[in-house]
Structure 1
Amino acid sequence: MKKRRYYLLAFFISICLSGIFLACDTDPEALNIERPYTYSEEYYESLRAYKESDHQVFYGWYAAPGQLEGVTAGYRQSPSMGEHIAGVPDSLDFLSLWFGIPSLREDDSLSSYNPIAYEEMRFAQEVKGTKMLVVEITRMEGYSWLELSEEGIRDYGDYLMGMVFDNDLDGLDLDYEPEGDWIAGENFATLVEYIGNRLGPMSENPDKYLIIDYYNQTPPPSVEPYINYLVNQAYTQGRTSTSAQYLQSRYNQVSDWLPTEKFIVTENLGEWYETGGAPFTEADGNTMNEDGEQIYSLEGMARWNPRQGEKGGFGGFYFGRDYINYPPYQNVRQSIQAANPAVR
């Protein structure tokens, strides 16, 4: 965390000097932002520097396509910024394209014609420094053209990497939920190693991310050198509360082979968008934040770290539904502040 304080301080000094706000607010993600705003280049430079700094990242799966279909002129823009990439919090680090890959091309089999979302995605990538990821539930048996063999694994890997490179995206999110599919265990490890030669920290393109997310079935330990992050779906499902003890148990399942800084925990905000999660209890039994308010699981995940060291980050599935709260994305912004407090 050596660089975090420097970049956060520079980031918020730049905001104050640029005159974006009427008064200097040193929160990493201010709660009272309305969209859209026009920011100065100094603001965006500081935002990109913050995202390159050593900090706990926010990782989100995004499902709103940013447009409505079916008018004769092509597509029309949704009036709600809650359905736009342009409307998500600037401090978001990774956006996994759960709704698909937007494109300007109508004849591309690896993406969907979606010009409004495409332009917003490019702006977020190039100006805000947000990393855009292809996401794929990795199962080979659903593709009739793939052989269940080592050659088939390479073909599948080429297909997945093609979506990244052909669409100029920042990386690949492999959703490891095989549920009996052939591409599990060592076969999945073979896929990761193959892809890891071209994406991820061991590859010829280390600026392209290779990430695995999973729920209950953990991937094999041999994948670790090839991935940037392992994202756990630590969802509060079938329960009415959650805790630091539960998150610790999730990390303990992989602690013998995964460094803490590669571990990310996430909540299902599609189910818990109204409160930002389920009631959360910290390791010392505390349930209240510094404002005397109940801690809910997204903020709890932001505040929590494994006993073994600092985690890589936190985030949410269907985090876009938090937009309907007031102010928009209140829970996401508050949690980003909790994980990355500004220098006061």
Structure 2
Amino acid sequence: MKKKLLNLLLACLAGAFTACDKQNMPEAIQIQKPYTYNDKYYENLRAYKKSDHQIFYGWFAAYSHKEGVVAEYKKSASWGEHIAGMPDSLDFCSLWMGIPSNKQNDAVTTYNPIAYEEMRKVREIKGTKMLVPEITRIAKYPNFPKNDDGIKMYADYLVKMVLDNDLDGLDLDYEPEGDWISGDNFTKMVALIGQQFGPKSSRPDKYLIIDYYTQLPAAAVEPYINYLVNQAYTQGTTTTSATFLQGRYNSVAAWCPTKKYIVTENLGEWWENGGSPFTEADGNTFNKDGKQMYSLEGMARWNPTQGKKAGWGAFYFDRDYNTQVPYGNVRRSIQIANPSVR
């Protein structure tokens, strides 16, 4: 009897300690849990992207390893480093670190089956357009001769990259810096690609876009392109303004309509606050909350004096994920330019 009572007492004590142990143990929490939506949400999202609105345009790189890192492919736990984690309202994504692919040992694409599957689903479900970026310099391709045949070879190569990977178009980065593909030669290449992609092409569902910093492409490219994207970056300064943006547009206003013009900030350098301090044309420097306005929001609010712009965006916009609210600056700027219907 005493033995039974002792066993019962030990069992009770064990239960008490177990309960106490469970009570003091920290609960496991899921740090990042993506939102899920029904089919109607995505149907409305795709319809929005086909509507007349100002587009958000961005270069995305977080799906790839940093330069110098040797690994098979990135398997990140952070939702900010996944294509599936990009803001739903993003219109155009330029795949800055290469075309994600499920093919190994391919000279053109980047092997990353995770990013590849996410890219395909984001295109299909969210209607986000995926672009192949190319800094257009023929010097990178010594097998292409510097004549009209070489221009055609280069154009065909770029078109093939898009078609072979079933993507939505080309983002031609025009920063020739003395390269042979500049001026008239660049225009010739744009005209050739323009037969395949863009508003004058046999495939108008494929986009032809030019982005540039300060070296201007020739006016003759305009009929062939969907959009002209200016790298209106805050480079080496601490502030920017509507006056600066207006000057950038004025340099191409004679030939580029406002409906094709996009301005972009460099969030790779200025991500902490969503850009650099911004001053509007009337001298205002505050957002609606009475706080300092920054350039991503300023670009969303700004339009040329000549008419409404096509859109705005950012280089390395993925770094905005690391702010207090993931993609808070990007999402807020989208709401400013395209307020939700209540």
With the shorter chain as reference, the TM-score category is 0.7 to 0.9
Contact kept? 2:74, 2:112, Cα under 8 Å:
no
Partner secondary structure for residue 110 of structure 1: coil
Query: How many percent of aligned residue pairs carry the same amino acid?
Result: 66
Aligned to 1:236: 234
Q: Is the 8 A contact 2:46 2:126 kept in 1?
A: yes
Partner of 2:39: 41
Matched, 1:290 2:297: no
Question: Match of 2:139, SS?
Answer: coil
Which moves more between the two structures, 37-46 or 167-176?
37-46
- 2:211 matches 1:213: yes
Which residue in 1 is equivalent to 2:324? 326
1:138 is aligned to 136
Structure 2 CA distance for aligned equivalents of residues 209 and 336 of structure 1: 22
The aligned residue for residue 189 of structure 1 is: 187
Residue 253 of structure 2 is aligned to residue 255 of structure 1: yes
Deviations 1:321-344, CA, capped at 9 Å, x for gaps: 111112101110111111111234
Match of 1:58 in 2: 56
The whole-number CA distance in structure 2 between the counterparts of 1:240 and 1:75 is: 36
Quick check: 2:73–2:111 contact (8 Å CA) kept in 1?
no
Among 258, 269, 272, the alignment partner of 2:270 is: 272
SS in 2 for 1:96: strand
Q: Please tell me the residue identity of whatever aligns with 1:65.
A: Y
Alpha-carbon distance in structure 2 between the residues aligned to 1:297 and 1:75: 34
Q: What SS does the corresponding residue of 1:315 show, helix, strand or coil? A: strand
2:79 aligned residue (68, 78, 81): 81
Give yes or no for contact 2:63–2:74 (8 Å, CA) kept in 1: no
Unaligned runs of 5+ in 2: 1-31
* Alpha-carbon separation, structure 2, partners of 1:210 and 1:313: 16
CA RMSD of aligned residues (A): 1.4
Name the structure, 1 or 2, with higher relative contact order (CA <8 Å, separation 6+).
1
**Is the alpha carbon distance of 1:75 and 1:268 closer, same or farther for their aligned partners in structure 2, counting shifts above 3 Å?**
closer
Distance 2:65 2:45 in 1: 26
Could you tell me how far apart the structure 2 residues matched to 1:291 and 1:186 are? 48
For 1:75 and 1:97, the matched residues in 2 are separated by: 16
Deviations 1:202-232 (A, max 9, x none): 0000000000000000100000000000000
Match of 1:113 in 2: 111
- The SS at the match of 1:271 is coil
In structure 1, runs of 5+ residues without a counterpart are 1-33
What is the aligned partner in structure 1 of residue 339 from structure 2? Answer: 341
Please tell me whether residue 203 in structure 1 is matched to residue 201 in structure 2.
Answer: yes
4+ runs of 1 displaced by more than 4 Å? 66-71
Deviations 1:89-111, CA, capped at 9 Å, x for gaps:
00000000001001111132221
**Partner of 2:172 in structure 1?**
174
Q: Deviations over 1:102-140 (max 9, x none)?
A: 111113222121100000000110000000000000000
How far apart, CA to CA, are the structure 2 residues paired with 1:284 and 1:61? 30
Instruction: Give the one of 101, 112, 115 matched to 1:103.
Output: 101
1:70 Cα deviation after fit: 6.5
- Identify which of 306, 309, 319 aligns with 1:308: 306
Partner AA of 2:211 in structure 1: D
Alpha-carbon distance in structure 2 between the residues aligned to 1:338 and 1:307: 18
Q: How many residues in Structure 1 have an aligned counterpart in Structure 2?
A: 309
Q: TM-score, normalised by structure 1?
A: 0.87
Distance between the aligned counterparts of 2:313 and 2:87, measured in 1?
Answer: 12
Q: Using the alignment, how far apart are the partners of 2:279 and 2:313 within structure 1?
A: 18
Cα pair 1:67 1:117 within 8 Å, conserved: no
CA distance in 2 between partners of 1:240 and 1:196 (Å):
38
- Render the CA deviation track for 1:7-50: whole Å, top value 9, x for unaligned: xxxxxxxxxxxxxxxxxxxxxxxxxxx74122100000000000
- Please tell me whether the aligned partners of residues 89 and 333 of structure 1 are also in contact (alpha carbons under 8 angstroms): yes
